[in-house]
């Protein structure tokens, strides 16, 4: 996160945005109109190696893993195929042959347009990766599974893929995501 925001435990205005978002969700205006606040995160060096959860395998996913990736969060198979066709990288965490979590990255340079119309197209610079669409099965949340998948993926991007920086946006209302990123 930007350094000033990163140090503030209760982001100014965050509570107001959360109340507004919940109020809108209770109206017919949702999801056509929504309010939110995002934090921009940037990592410029590989995280240290994750040593826990030794029985969780983390690896780069391929086209043959599309059905398993979709099963985690009911993603549209056509969207997953389009991501692979565009050259995006997916990493997954599996235990006893079952995929529990995944995260996607798009390599720069190029535009990241998947989140339009919610956000403007993001220009991903050369040497950068944009982190997006992460998911964990409900029964694996709060277990550390996603933290390991994300850390191993980030380390792989820096060490094996030559990343200079990995960037992403996170919703301030998603406390688990904010805590992990920070």
- The SS3 assignment for 49 reads coil
The secondary structure of the chain in percent helix, strand, coil, rounded to multiples of 5, reads 35, 25, 40
| 3-class SS string, 59-76 | EECCHHHHHHHHHHHCCC
Q: In this structure, how many other beta carbons lie within 10 angstroms of the beta carbon of residue 81?
A: 13
Q: What is the pTM of this model?
A: 0.81
CB 169 within 8 A of CB 40: yes
Per-residue pLDDT of the chain (182 residues; tens, 9 = 90+): 333 333 334 445 567 777 777 788 888 877 777 676 788 899 999 998 888 889 999 999 999 999 999 999 999 999 999 999 999 999 999 999 999 999 999 999 998 888 776 677 778 999 999 999 999 999 998 888 999 999 999 999 999 999 999 999 887 777 778 888 88
**What pLDDT shows up at residue 153?**
98
- The SS3 assignment for 101 reads strand
Give the CA angle between residues 126, 131, 134 to the nearest 5°: 160
CB 164 within 8 A of CB 127: yes
**What pLDDT shows up at residue 14?**
61
Q: In which residue are the tokens 């990163």 written?
A: 6
Displacement of CA 168 from its chain's centroid (Å): 7
**What pLDDT shows up at residue 74?**
96
Cβ-proximal residues to 98 (8 Å cutoff; 6+ apart), any chain: none
């Amino acid at each position: 996160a930007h350094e000033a925001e990163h140090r503030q435990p209760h982001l100014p205005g965050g509570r107001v945005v959360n109340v507004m978002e919940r109020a809108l969700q209770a109206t017919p205006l949702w999801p056509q109109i929504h309010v939110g606040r995002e934090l921009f995160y940037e990592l410029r060096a590989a995280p240290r190696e994750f040593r826990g959860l030794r029985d969780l395998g983390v690896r780069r996913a391929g086209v043959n893993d599309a059905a398993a990736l979709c099963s985690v969060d009911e993603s549209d198979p056509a969207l997953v195929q389009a991501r692979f066709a565009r050259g995006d990288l997916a990493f997954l965490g599996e235990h006893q042959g079952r995929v529990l979590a995944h995260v996607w990255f798009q390599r720069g340079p190029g535009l990241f347009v998947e989140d339009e119309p919610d956000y403007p197209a993001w220009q991903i610079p050369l040497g950068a990766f944009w982190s997006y669409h992460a998911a964990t099965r409900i029964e694996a949340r709060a277990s550390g599974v996603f933290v390991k998948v994300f850390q191993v993926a980030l380390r792989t991007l820096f060490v094996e893929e030559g990343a200079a920086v990995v960037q992403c946006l996170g919703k301030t209302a998603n406390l688990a995501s904010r805590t992990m990123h920070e």
